[in-house]
A and B are shown apart, each in its own frame.
Chain A
């Protein structure tokens, strides 16, 4: 059952990711990215990251994607300009990419420890209680620094995007 769920959501994530890259319109890419985010949230849940899964849905699929879609609508860019590829790149590109991915997968398999199976509900340290306790005790300083960084990012976004007033 866990293997089946992993297969389904991994396939959704991979297909949506590829769709993101090959779509011509930015809005189709944004919808594909929403698919990737949702599938990844399910995978986090399988890995026992309850808080991360919820944060993924709320922050990524909610907030960031709304921001992206809003900007796409605002800019109204239309279809992208494409250039003709060189003939060797057209035929060798995809096979070489697959070779690269195969090499990466082999290396990961060699390096990573031969762990036990991922079983849903087995890892129980990912609840909001545990994550919050770690965030507000051990990692309090990084947490505060992150909040300052987000404040700076808000100010930066406002300054960059506002109209110049003479």
Chain B
């Protein structure tokens, strides 16, 4: 049967996929989306633990994670628009202003 462990394993899988996206993709928009995927995996684990321990705290923390994810996405996309205005690219490999 399905226990909380299954949910934790699914969270691990999603975090792994998100890490893969961050490491392999070049489009900065897709990298930001992969980061959102990692945050969602963490949220799934928090909600699973809240149910396992029969406490509300995990879900409250998940609300905070969602709020922080909104802030992160808005600032990240703002940086991306400013970057595109200056460099005309969304390729992470071509953004090397701080290199050397």
- Indicate which residue in A30, A71, A126, A152 contacts B50 across the interface (CB closer than 8 Å): A126
Q: Which residues of B contact A125 (CB under 8 A)?
A: 50, 54-56, 59
Main DSSP-derived SS at the B contact region:
helix
Q: Mark B65-100, 1 if CB is under 8 A from A, else 0.
A: 011111111110111111011000011010000000
Spell out A's residues near B (CB within 8 Å): 2-3, 6, 10, 13-14, 17-18, 20-21, 26, 29-30, 33, 36-37, 40, 43-44, 47-49, 51-52, 55-56, 59-60, 63-64, 67-68, 71-72, 74-75, 77, 80-82, 97, 100-101, 104-105, 108-109, 112-118, 123, 125-126, 130-131, 134-135, 138-139, 142, 146, 149-150, 152-154, 156-161, 163
Main DSSP-derived SS at the A contact region:
helix
Q: Are A49 and B26 in contact (CB under 8 A)?
A: no
Shortest C-beta distance, B17 to chain A (Å), equals 4
